[in-house]
Chains A and B, each alone.
Chain A
């Protein structure tokens, strides 16, 4: 399993099963500790998931329960066919434990972020923290309107401003 975390998004690639569950739990803990914004929303980018069994699902459910308790939530973005099948047969989709979106673009985040900064390579199982060149406040968490499921235009402007500043 490989992963990286940025802007409230956890990118995961590979097989999520009982053997990789401890690493996945560590990644979830790292994501939880780094969440910004109120209410907190975590995004799991699952396009590279090759299998998904119950052990890592437990970590996801724990995260969802924690965030639901403070009016936040967990979004699963671009799930691979296997990840989607796993979420279906687990019953989590019916219960709306996770909100599933087709791509990060639905957050009005990915296209701009991708243009500004191409994705960094996924970290190994125990990634080294990347040193920051400029100490700055991280961009705010994506705020998604419950009605439309899209970020507000004001948020996008603020995010673009933060990204431009960050790149400098």
Chain B
């Protein structure tokens, strides 16, 4: 991934199943995705699937579009997702879902995707801006590399909220 133009992927699609499928297909064909490690590909797959599915199912956004972007630099994949649905902070929701992890019997079926994203990323952010939900996360290629120095200071153009796991 030496070419700078290969280090970014952006896509906008209608917030429905077909839109998700087209975004997924475009992402998988992109030079950025093709050059990612297995762990970072998984992070991109997971974030797109979980966030867009959540918007489609519960976002009440009337078929408006979502925006999804990936940016890779120095071993860190930064993911940014924007929808125009009802206000929803996935990280706050994921924290609530973590309470249920005590036994197989008690483990609930739903809400697992947000927990998975939270566990995978090294920093994350959410902001409600101009009627949109802006969700950001950063995933390190090698989780052992996560230090204060390697954490990105700003996750997005605006007010990312770096939050150490």
Contact A51 B20 (CB under 8 A): no
Contact A53 B50 (CB under 8 A): yes
Chain A residue with the shortest CB-CB distance to B117: A89
Complex contacts, B39 vs chain A, CB 8 Å: 81-82, 85
Report A36-71 residues with CB < 8 Å from chain B CB.
Answer: 51-55, 57-58, 61-62, 64-65, 68
Q: Most B CB atoms within 10 A — which of A18, A57, A90, A96?
A: A18
A97 to B120, CA, bound (A): 19
Q: Most A CB atoms within 10 A — which of B49, B101, B107?
A: B49
Chain B residue with the shortest CB-CB distance to A96: B104
Contact B38 A57 (CB under 8 A): no
Complex contacts, B115 vs chain A, CB 8 Å: 89-91
Whether B132 sits at the interface, judged by CB under 8 Å, is: no
Contact B49 A58 (CB under 8 A): no
B20-46 CB contact bits vs A (8 Å, 1 = yes)?
Answer: 110010000000000000110110011
B43-68 CB contact bits vs A (8 Å, 1 = yes)?
Answer: 00110011001000000000000000
Whether A15 sits at the interface, judged by CB under 8 Å, is: yes
User: Least Cβ distance of B52 to chain A in Å?
Assistant: 8
Contact B101 A86 (CB under 8 A): no
Asked if A65 meets B53 with Cβ closer than 8 Å, knowing A54-B112, A57-B112, the reply is no
Complex contacts, A82 vs chain B, CB 8 Å: 38-39, 41-42
A11 to B53, CA, bound (A): 26
Pick the residue among A54, A88, A97 that contacts B50 (CB under 8 A): A54
Complex contacts, A65 vs chain B, CB 8 Å: 104-105, 107
Pick the residue among B24, B38, B107, B113 that contacts A19 (CB under 8 A): B24
Whether B86 sits at the interface, judged by CB under 8 Å, is: no
User: In which size bucket is the chain A interface?
Assistant: 20 to 34
Contact B110 A58 (CB under 8 A): yes
Complex contacts, A68 vs chain B, CB 8 Å: 104-105
Complex contacts, A18 vs chain B, CB 8 Å: 20, 49, 53
Contact A53 B38 (CB under 8 A): no
Whether A95 sits at the interface, judged by CB under 8 Å, is: yes
User: Least Cβ distance of A73 to chain B in Å?
Assistant: 10
Contact B116 A19 (CB under 8 A): no
B96-117 CB contact bits vs A (8 Å, 1 = yes)?
Answer: 0000011111010110110110
Ordered nearest first, which 8 A-B pairs have the shortest CB separation?
Answer: A54-B113, A89-B119, A51-B45, A54-B112, A53-B49, A89-B116, A82-B42, A17-B49
